[in-house]
Amino acid sequence: MIVEGTYTFKAPRDAVWDLLQNPDVLGTAMPGAQRLVRTGEDHFEGVMKVSVGFMSAGEVQMIVDLEDKVAPERLAMRIDGTGALGFVRGTAQVTLAEAPDNQTTMTYRSDMQIGGRIAAVGQRILDSAVRTMTEKGLEALQRELDTRLAGGGR
């Protein structure tokens, strides 16, 4: 499954980059995330609850590795998740570009393999669920940026 798109953050590129390095923030940006902990440099482990279509919430053990980092321009993620409902494996590339009015445009592309019972819901439902989760995650990042830029950040 390929998911790609762009999103413009109302924040400078350095602020967006810093946010993407923070496991607490990454955890809030992943809908259903219950925990995301840095266990090594650029290595994170966590747990998400996932519901897709008629499948009720199931826990997925996630491992996320950040790779190919060129601050504050780009990074790649390797994602590996397994749980009772199936598995998710793949990569994602993120590029950050300065935009007018002190904003940042993120271009993202992920290539994920999804298998097990979770894949049984069908491609159309899965596509819709992943796109909705991506949109909610990006909106959560923007809210965190707004809080930090207003002086209430962590």
d(CA 109, CA 100): 23
pLDDT (tens digit per residue) in 10-54: 999 999 999 998 888 877 777 667 888 999 999 999 998 876 666
What is the residue-wise DSSP string for 95-131? Answer: EEEEETTTEEEEEEEEEEEEESGGGGG-HHHHHHHHH
The tens-digit pLDDT sequence of the chain (154 residues) is 898 999 999 999 999 999 998 888 877 777 667 888 999 999 999 998 876 666 665 788 999 999 999 999 999 999 999 998 888 899 999 999 999 999 999 999 999 888 887 777 767 777 887 788 889 889 999 999 999 999 865 5
139: phi > 0 → left, psi -120 to 50 → alpha, else beta; which?
Answer: alpha
Give the model's pLDDT for residue 120: 75
Task: Kindly report whether the global pTM for this prediction surpasses the value 0.75.
Answer: yes
d(CA 16, CA 95): 11
CATH 3.30.530.20 fits 2-149, yes or no: yes
